[in-house]
Amino acid sequence: MNKNAHSRDEDGDQQAVAWMWKNFKESEIKEVLSQKAKDKRMRINSSIKRLFWDVDKDSVDINQHRFYIISRIIDYGNIDDVKWMRNTYTDEEIKEIICKKKGISKKSAYFWTTYYKIPVEEVRCLQEFFPKELQLF
């Protein structure tokens, strides 16, 4: 894009914002801008779409499917996927999923419990669900 095209885009944006302020209430403008920000944030990054081989990638919503997305990145993601995950979700959200999700591999779970200093006892996928010895009556 050349310099003139870029400045025309900026001029157009500024004119659009000025027109909005003149013709709409402040609350309406905030709602539109908020919705645009939400729409932008809800899409998964194209670089991590490869992790979702079993679903329609365009239907994955980063808020609604956060358990699914984070657990996939924890198990199958590379360093760039992890960076995206840490920029998109809070450490608390990531830790919650590490602790609650049963389907995370033990190898990944041990790595992330060490990384986040989570006690192993708090991680559901690392718990034994069956007693070692069955006590009969």
Residue 81, both tokens: 């996927």
Q: Which stretches of the chain score pLDDT less than 50?
A: 1-7, 40-41
What is the DSSP secondary structure assignment for residue 102, as one 8-state letter?
S
Residue 5, both tokens: 């095209």
Residue 19, both tokens: 């027109």
89: nearest Cα among 108, 105, 72: 72
| Whole-number Cα distances in Å, 22 to 26, 59, 111 | 10, 36, 54
Residue-level pLDDT at 32: 64
* Neighbour-count burial of 119, counting CB atoms closer than 10 A to its CB (0-12 exposed, 13-18 middle, 19+ buried): exposed
Residue-level pLDDT at 4: 47
Residue-level pLDDT at 11: 64
| Whole-number Cα distances in Å, 136 to 128, 131, 132 | 19, 12, 13
Q: Residues 77-99: pLDDT tens digits?
A: 999 999 999 999 999 999 999 99
Residue-level pLDDT at 100: 93
Residue-level pLDDT at 7: 46
Residue-level pLDDT at 137: 59
Q: Residues 95-117: pLDDT tens digits?
A: 999 999 988 999 999 999 999 99
